[in-house]
Amino acid sequence: MRVADRLAQREASWRELDTLLDGLNRRRQLPSARAAEVVRLGELYRAACTDLMLAETHDLPRETVAYLHALVGRAHNAVYRAQGFRFVDWANALFGTAPRQLRADPALRIAALVFFGSFLVCALLGAGRPGFATAVVGESMIEMMEQSYAEPMGADRKDGLSRNDTMMAGFYIQHNTTIGLQCFAYGLLFGLGSLYELVSNGAILGTIFGHMATSPSASNFYTFVTAHAPFELMAIVFSGAAGLRLGYGLIDTQGQTRLGSLQREARRALPTVGASVVLFLLAAFLEGYVSASALPYSAKASIALVCAGLLVAYLALGGRRRVVEPD
């Protein structure tokens, strides 16, 4: 049988593949397809690739080759392409998948215990033992912190420069997300890197909080840090928990290769990473526009309580109802 005759008999399969792709496109994603449709899509896609190869090899009419190129391209995109960004999917992952996973994930409890445990111990030592803060963070850091908070929030600067809240918010975003990325990425060291980052950040922050509580600048310092502290501290814990999840994938492979296990846990950790990024962004904007403002401490403390309440509600209630998307 001539190749041209063989391909002519294949036109029905091409039309079937065309119709199947149109149906999947209306539903916007391959996961919404039935199992039989997915299997049939694979069969038709492989056959169309063979037909295209034959058409090109035997110099069939350009119209036929162009049609098969387009058909194979559409089928390839349906099978292999990454789904485009959809706000609904993002919202479901952030408010559904992430809190549901965090509630059941021992990594969150370990990360919280390590971070807040080191924070509390070092805060008590920083407040109660003279010289402890200097030994942990250095004398230059202590002097810089005391000088930075020597004046009340919102007071005119002695150097005559005006405060740029937007610039500072951008700086805090960069600084905070760097900490979060380190807590997450260092999980590749079998989780030990994430544990180190959690202990290190907890110890440094706790030491500073403890020392500043006994300094003459205590009032100004706590007026600044109170509003954004809940979001920023929990963002560090979330990032550390995601990093520990990576490390766990390298330790317990569940019968997979280490790379396959790492990929599995990385996908599972992504909603948690997304939640930590959102918290870091919220903390940065609060730090730039609220914490450094002249608002009274009572207002900033109220904001901190609201933020802490939102975090509790997020972890306790988020994802209780699974969202089912229509076909």
Name the maximum alpha-carbon separation found in the chain.
95
* The residue to which tokens 């539903």 are assigned: 27
Residue 323 lies in a domain: no
Residue 327 lies in a domain: no
Residue 54 lies in a domain: yes
* The residue to which tokens 């900490």 are assigned: 179
CA angle 29, 33, 39 (to 5 degrees): 115
On whether both 109 and 125 belong to a single domain, the answer is yes
3-state secondary structure (DSSP) of residue 151: coil
Residue 66 lies in a domain: yes
* Domain end position, chosen among 80, 102, 132: 80
On whether both 104 and 7 belong to a single domain, the answer is no
* Domain end position, chosen among 29, 58, 80: 80
On whether both 269 and 169 belong to a single domain, the answer is yes
For 32, 41, 107, the CA distances from 101, given in Å and listed in that order, are 23, 33, 10
On whether both 238 and 151 belong to a single domain, the answer is yes
pLDDT value of position 4: 63
On whether both 10 and 158 belong to a single domain, the answer is no
* Domain end position, chosen among 62, 80, 98: 80
On whether both 76 and 123 belong to a single domain, the answer is no
pLDDT value of position 165: 52
d(C-alpha 171, C-alpha 148), whole Å: 16
Q: What is the chain's pLDDT, residue by residue, as a tens digit (327 residues)?
A: 466 666 677 788 888 888 887 777 765 555 545 667 777 877 888 888 888 887 777 777 778 788 888 888 888 877 766 455 567 777 888 888 889 888 888 999 999 999 999 999 999 999 999 889 999 989 888 888 888 888 876 655 454 444 555 555 565 676 777 888 888 888 889 999 999 999 999 999 999 999 999 998 899 999 999 999 999 999 999 999 999 999 998 998 888 888 888 888 888 888 899 899 999 989 988 988 888 888 899 999 999 999 999 999 999 988 776 544 444
Residue 68 lies in a domain: yes
Residue 302 lies in a domain: yes
Collect all residues with Cβ–Cβ distance below 8 Å to 25 and sequence separation of at least 6: 78
On whether both 50 and 194 belong to a single domain, the answer is no
d(C-alpha 47, C-alpha 6), whole Å: 12
140-146, long-range: CB within 8 Å, 24+ apart, which pairs?
141/208, 142/211, 145/208, 145/211, 145/212, 145/217, 145/221, 146/212, 146/215, 146/216, 146/217
Residue 193 lies in a domain: yes
pLDDT value of position 159: 46
For 12, 134, 215, 218, 296, the CA distances from 138, given in Å and listed in that order, are 77, 4, 16, 19, 31
* DSSP codes, 159-227: T-PPP-HHHHHHHHHHHHHHHHHHHHHGGGTTTHHHHHHHHHHHHHHHHHHHHHHTSTTHHHHHHHHTT
On whether both 230 and 136 belong to a single domain, the answer is yes
Residue 145 structural domain: 88-317
On whether both 169 and 196 belong to a single domain, the answer is yes
pLDDT value of position 46: 84
Tokens of 92: 């479901």
d(C-alpha 83, C-alpha 205), whole Å: 40
On whether both 69 and 131 belong to a single domain, the answer is no
On whether both 172 and 143 belong to a single domain, the answer is yes
* Buried-exposed string 218-247: b where 16+ CB fall within 10 A, e elsewhere: eebbbbbbbbbbbbbbbbbbbbbbbbbbbb
d(C-alpha 11, C-alpha 16), whole Å: 9
Residue 242 lies in a domain: yes
On whether both 66 and 96 belong to a single domain, the answer is no
Domain count, the chain: 2
What predicted TM-score, i.e. pTM, was given to this entire model? 0.70
